[in-house]
A and B are shown apart, each in its own frame.
Chain A
């Protein structure tokens, strides 16, 4: 996982911004319950009156207050208020707000800062409590608020309007916060999506580039199928994880920790409820997954098994019916189906318990909070609004833990994908060009020379080829024959450097193939692989793959030589005939002929046909070989085959047996001298046809 982190580097700025915005969003989200509690505590419970320091007092009240405090304190309070005498113009104006204060001086609070305010508030509270003995001091603030409200009402002030304006102003702030939060979310979503998609794009293209430059040694090591999965599914998986991770992975801890801080700030004595709830939830998740996860894994196996039986039933349809075994097959399937159903049912039922259980736990926790909170409120430790906010914080904290545990379920799977990708990216191609490659001159003769060449696959204990020496000359056909596994295909794949020989050397055109660039070498070789594969596109685009600048005539000629002309001409689209992926829409024999045509378009001095005629019927095979002989008379031709009949005319036949060159010569020579060749020939042709 960590190995892929460097691919996130270009997006570092985005990620930092995402984290910052998530902080902003989390704080906004966390502030909402706080404001709600203010509305409840101050707005509703205290009628919008924030503390014991009134914003206006009548003269009588003011004097009462001054009597209960020391002279210095009194001076401080005096300093904070403006006094308006009855009859003055200012006093007249104030009467609109305080209609009952016409006969006394009005004291109006000046604009003061928060510290002064809290200091004065403390003085006022002290003033109240000194008058009331035997009452719990924590209730005094509430009393003070009541006293303030009482004075306002005495002055005839509209307390309802006061309350409403308080609620509206806090509510306005809440709306602002909500907006802030959504803006942050959208930006995070935007940045996150771009980062995740960009990350996936970079991985994908890097992986593709890497694999394109792999030699076959690396390809074999991973297997083609595995490389495809790594470049497709694994990368898609990474993108999913990145997009989720960028949000959840940062957001969950922020909201979790922030929630804990705020919740304990609201009601520090109730922290244990959160600790309890979180540990129960995590415990439940852990238990459920411990039970379900192994079963999840076995479900995948059971599904595979089920699919296997279905696939077997589809592919073996004829055989099953030929033996009239439908009933048996249905029994076999039923067993797989029952196994799967049983396990699925178990897992589903385990998972079904999870949702109601989580809900129950959360509901029980809110009950617990109300109960504990009620007791705390009764003791005047906290206020009702605090309790309500605490409840909401608790929920936020749970969800952050649930999110986190989700991440921990996804992460192991994702890290498998990440490792599979990183493994490919960390692999260096074993075949690289020399630093200062030699170049072929204008005069190029396609002679191929093997000098004591041995080859073994990486990690294998035995040689696939050992001590092979021979020379193939221009204008000649060199055929290679042998049983399966004798190393024929391996031998020819050494020539374009699909693999490097383990020992010995191969010279093409008189230069060691390791001394020239791979591209230069391969430009001299027209190679037709055993597996006839075409690319999606048209016949024409496939031929152009060999040479972008090939003319229509070149292509038409190549099709004619490869015996593909007839069926291409029969199609209304001609060379524009669409080829589906893998060439599935043309028959095996047609596909082989097209791959041969593609090689011919290249006009190479060397041609290698690796068992490329196997899907052709004898007639086409013969015609094709004749045409090749006629048109490629100047080229060096290497021909791997299993058909003796096809190579009776070859200039030179190499016989391979278990990686050794056991015979070399013409058909007639080998019939005399080489036992392996004779065996092969005997099994294919009747005695009299061999002469």
Chain B
């Protein structure tokens, strides 16, 4: 009942919500969004999520209905005051004594005041409870999604980019939240309002109700007409906006290329073309979505005028009181908005279902195979690793590792070499069971790694990758990530062993220095040293190292070499090797190409064999020319 007494109808629940002052309004407000593939199923699941909140939701419904009913009663009773007033005036005019009964009017007004107060109070209680419920559900959704991320097999993320997962966590959850906190109660209040107003109107006058209802089909047709058109242009606009923004991103991002090839004029010309198409769809979309409200107001005003005329006619025949006309005018005003809201309900529900579906889809993805209950508890790990007839492929129909077998004794160094894109990290992923082998087995100290709990297995390995992963937190906490609960002394000890201690002390806050979000406040080399310190602190029996140090200066590189040397002492190590010295010093070399292990052996054996490795090795020294 938001727009009582409002002749122009410039109103509406402005749809305030945290984060965006204009809620779901804007040009897309009346858009038909994407549709859920399985609407019913998704809604069932969503209701399932809501079931712990059954009681609060029932209370919300009761209060919403109560609030609406009370506010609907208002105008009719207020109208009585006007009628009393009018009757008094007429009496005065007729020269009768008594005149206007101010006391009676006052009593009526007090009654209405009570109604309005109760209605506002109910409405607030309803909003209070519902926002609590929807935010708790949002919290739960996010929590579930994150937990899910950590239970998903890595394989899932091969085909899904991170942005997509992130968007489910933010946008989709947000859409669901909005629907729950706003649209749900809005639907109820709209329905109750329409029904209630209809009843009130009928109690006043069926003739006036008929006039008021005449505007319904008109407004329906108008909505449909405008929405269909504006949707078309809105889509076009979004598409061209995407083109324009894409072009901007692309060209600004490659400024060096543009400059180097003097492509400025060409780019501008292309951009002007895109921009003009954007303009012509933008204004149309803007125009059509912009006249939606005025059109609805127009229809509302027509109803208003119609009721005034008809009411006047009836009043002249004493068939209706003036107060009733006033009340009726207010009812007509509060009729159009809930109707357009009801008209939009199916869109809102579809949108919500589509979002909820994406969330549920993610939550229902197959997880990593569960651990066996009788998982082996690793005792002391020697570090003997055996690959026994391993077959593996990322895709089921595309096996890339065919029947690979190798035995690594404890404490030995294994170098993994191969050209870029040869799949060197595949072996690492198999060792740590990020992926499971298709056939064959990997054994550690003679036990199939699948017999261990994943967490236990992974703790056997220390990992220092090229893609150093540190999180937004203190340096100390980042080092301690390797061993939660380690003392500060232990962490400092590890940092010292990793030659990173003096770097850290150079910061004003020392070990308490916060790494910023993009961890740009320390250099790439320092990051790598920190990850080494982390691995040293974890003290694993086996190691996985990636020695690519492409963007590190010479001095730091020497430090990293030394630190890795410290780390590898006495541990079985798998090294993704880039440096010839490392390769040649390795006890065993695995040569990879196109995802498969094409050769294995010692350096001398492999050179003597004159195969892929020999070719690769020689190429670095320009012996190719002479060959």
Contacts and interface: CB of A to CB of B under 8 A. Distances in A.
Interface in B125-175: 127-128, 131-132, 135-136, 138-139, 142-143, 146-147, 149-151, 154, 157, 162, 165-166, 169-170
B18 A366 contact: no
B538 interface: yes
A267 interface: no
Nearest to A350: B18
A351 B11 contact: no
A589 interface: yes
A367 B109 contact: yes
A204 interface: yes
Nearest to B256: A529
A642 B329 CA distance: 81
Determine chain B's interface SS by DSSP, over half rule: helix
B90 A355 contact: no
Nearest to B316: A163
A178 B619 contact: no
A205 B287 contact: no
A324 B378 CA distance: 15
A108 interface: no
A310 B581 contact: no
A622 to B, nearest CB: 5
Given A377-B89, A496-B260, A321 B434 contact: yes
Contacts of B459: 323-324
A364 B116 contact: yes
Interface stretch (A109-117, A395-403, A445-453): A395-403
A585 interface: no
A589 B219 CA distance: 60
A327 to B, nearest CB: 9
Given A143-B93, A197-B279, A581-B249, A314 B165 contact: yes
Interface in A178-206: 178, 181-182, 185-186, 189-190, 192-194, 196-198, 200-201, 204-205
B102 A355 contact: no
A370 interface: yes
**Most B CB atoms within 10 A — which of A224, A322, A587?**
A322
Contacts of B313: 164, 167-168
Given A160-B316, A181-B298, A193-B283, A683 B558 contact: yes
For this complex, into which size category does the number of interface residues on chain A fall? 35 or more
Contacts of B127: 349, 352-353, 355-356
B482 to A, nearest CB: 6
A356 B120 contact: yes
Interface in B447-491: 454-456, 458-459, 461, 463, 465, 467, 469, 471-472, 481-482, 484
A536 B245 CA distance: 13
A3 interface: no
A422 B123 CA distance: 45
B282 A679 contact: no
B322 A236 contact: no
Interface stretch (A70-78, A83-91, A299-307, A551-559): A299-307
Interface stretch (B78-86, B192-200, B384-392, B494-502): B78-86
B102 A378 contact: yes
Contacts of B555: 483
Contacts of A255: 8
**Most A CB atoms within 10 A — which of B17, B286, B297?**
B286
Given A299-B19, A355-B123, A201 B138 contact: no
Given A321-B458, A395-B5, A618-B619, A197 B282 contact: yes
Contacts of B550: 614, 642
A33 B308 CA distance: 10
A443 interface: no
**Most B CB atoms within 10 A — which of A370, A387, A529?**
A370
28 contacts: A35-B308, A36-B329, A45-B322, A174-B309, A182-B297, A186-B294, A189-B291, A194-B283, A197-B286, A228-B248, A306-B142, A314-B165, A319-B463, A321-B458, A337-B143, A353-B124, A353-B127, A357-B124, A371-B106, A374-B102, A394-B5, A399-B11, A484-B552, A527-B260, A533-B254, A545-B257, A546-B261, A686-B581
Given A200-B282, A533-B253, A622-B619, 20 more contacts: A174-B308, A193-B290, A208-B251, A211-B252, A307-B169, A314-B165, A314-B166, A317-B157, A318-B154, A326-B151, A345-B131, A363-B71, A366-B5, A373-B85, A394-B5, A531-B254, A602-B261, A617-B616, A619-B419, A645-B622
What 10 pairs across the A-B complex have the smallest Cβ distances? A171-B309, A352-B127, A617-B419, A324-B455, A193-B287, A527-B260, A197-B283, A167-B312, A193-B286, A316-B469
